[in-house]
Copies of this chain bind each other. A is one copy, B any other.
Amino acid sequence: MNPVKVGICGLGTVGSGTFNVLARNRESIQARVGADIVVAQIGARRDNPACDTGDVPVARDIFEVVRNPEIDIVVELIGGTTVARDLVLEAIANGKHVVTANKALIAEYGNEIFAAAQEQGVSVNFEAAVAGGIPIIKALREGLAANQVEWLAGIINGTGNFILTEMREKGRDFADVLAEAQALGYAEADPTFDVEGIDAAHKLVILASIAFGIPLQFDKVYTEGITRISTEDVNYAEELGYRIKHLGIARCDDEGIELRVHPTLIPEKRLIANVNGVMNAILVKADAVGPTLYYGPGAGSEPTASSVVADVVDVARTLTAEPKHRVPYLAFHQDTLSDHPVKAIDEIQTAYYLRMSALDKPGVLSQIAQILSDAGISIEALIQKQPPEDADHVPVILLTNVTREKALMSAVEQIQSLDSIDDEVVRIRVESLAG
């Protein structure tokens, strides 16, 4: 199978992430696609120390990439709507498939771009344009294809969500948190796009179009930022059982379509109310499935690259595979499935919750601690309650560190064999699930 040739235009944060992901996961991506994906050329005004482009040719004139007859897929990662628009339209005119992460370009010039692409018979994919690494475009265009979408509401600007989260959790005021976000690199020096909701409006317009089947209409979005949210309102909202989130909301009913970005009080018990920091999430309400939610990082080098490369894989699959075998049954082609062994349960490593009923007398706890310590297991947390009146046994609850199951089980057996321990020791595994 001939390799699929990709040209990357722009080698900033997302461009270098895209190059690095394609290089690092080249083998597994090939097993998924059934063909190799090769970066044949990069167009970038300057190098980026975050990525070693090796012997891939780098053109200083990015337009060389869209004119390179070798290239199948042009990946536009330069941002902005002037040069990027020219670049994408020329790529399309030259019969290239296009992948872009450019929300402003799609929101403002998507109708023109898609018309040109339709005429040329090429695809334009833009998963990375909305909510970074969350595959929300694919979910809406394909995963929910059975449905009429009724509404969607998204936390689709990580900077804004970081600011509101800090205001609520730490009682800090808007200006203070914004300054920190800028120092951390979450917010631009000019934060207007983020805090005034323009970035979210770009993304909302794209989501609404693919949810409802309407042309892109950026000029029709009502947009209100978070600059006037005070800690006072954050606190009153909490008192009423709500959180303030900066949402993009799109709704469709018989009267028409709502497209609006604004701060919103939402009940604190909703899952989306608990999406904090720079994370993004989109809640979609559709007629057949009901509510579904998609959560993940909305920005960053490799999270965004994850979506860019998924789009490249999508196009590569249509270019190389039989349509009927576009996506392998188990994601990877049958002849590439691995025989990596499945571990026995006693080889896994996890932390443990233990509850036991111990005789209420001196020395028992130290016996238990000794057994665990001899097995190399440390105690991370402990609850020991006073015995109920007239009872001679007390409940002892422990959380251990992460350890090998075999070691834990053998220690538990020893604990159970102590005269001072009544009944079986209750064991439940503990996982931090830290991202």
Q: Which residues of A contact B (CB under 8 A)?
A: 17, 21-22, 24-25, 28-29, 31-32, 97, 110, 114-115, 117-118, 121-124, 127, 133-135, 138-148, 153, 209-217, 220, 222, 228-230, 232-233, 236-237, 239-240, 242, 244, 247, 249, 251-252, 255-260, 262-267, 270-272, 274-275, 283, 285-297, 300, 302-303, 305-310, 312-314, 318-319, 322-332, 334, 336-343, 345, 347-348, 353, 355, 381, 383, 395, 397, 399, 426, 428-433, 435
Contacts and interface: CB of A to CB of B under 8 A. Distances in A.
Given A147-B306, A271-B274, 15 more contacts: A117-B329, A134-B292, A135-B139, A135-B143, A135-B292, A142-B327, A209-B330, A233-B353, A233-B426, A283-B435, A287-B302, A289-B306, A291-B435, A292-B294, A295-B295
Contacts of A138: 135, 138-139, 142-143
Contact of A289 (B133, B318, B355, B399): B133
B133 A257 contact: no
Contacts of A324: 97, 121-123, 318
A17 B290 CA distance: 13
A163 to B, nearest CB: 15
B329 A124 contact: yes
Contacts of A305: 146, 288
A77 B213 CA distance: 30
A337 B213 contact: yes
A153 B110 CA distance: 37
A404 to B, nearest CB: 11
Contact of A265 (B141, B244, B353): B353
Given A25-B147, A147-B25, A338-B213, A267 B433 contact: yes
A428 B29 contact: no
B249 A332 contact: no
B329 A217 contact: no
| 9 residue pairs, one from A and one from B, having the closest CB atoms | A135-B143, A291-B435, A146-B309, A292-B296, A213-B332, A133-B289, A289-B306, A293-B295, A220-B342
Contacts of A232: 355, 395
Contacts of A348: 251, 258, 260
Contact of A309 (B145, B266, B329, B342): B145
A272 B333 CA distance: 31
A296 B289 contact: yes
A288 B302 contact: yes
A304 B287 CA distance: 12
A133 B294 contact: no
Given A118-B329, A289-B303, A353-B237, A264 B146 contact: no
Contact of A429 (B264, B294, B309): B264
Contacts of A22: 146
Best-buried of A123, A145, A319, A397 by chain B (most CB within 10 Å): A145
A330 B433 contact: no
Contacts of A283: 433, 435
A358 B9 CA distance: 57
A254 B22 CA distance: 21
25 contacts: A29-B146, A114-B330, A115-B334, A118-B325, A124-B329, A133-B292, A135-B142, A135-B143, A142-B310, A145-B331, A146-B306, A146-B308, A153-B431, A220-B342, A230-B426, A232-B395, A233-B428, A237-B353, A251-B348, A263-B428, A265-B399, A266-B433, A288-B303, A318-B324, A323-B323
Contacts of A260: 345, 348
Contact of A144 (B24, B135, B153): B135
Contacts of A293: 293-296
B25 A430 contact: no
A307 to B, nearest CB: 8
B289 A297 contact: yes
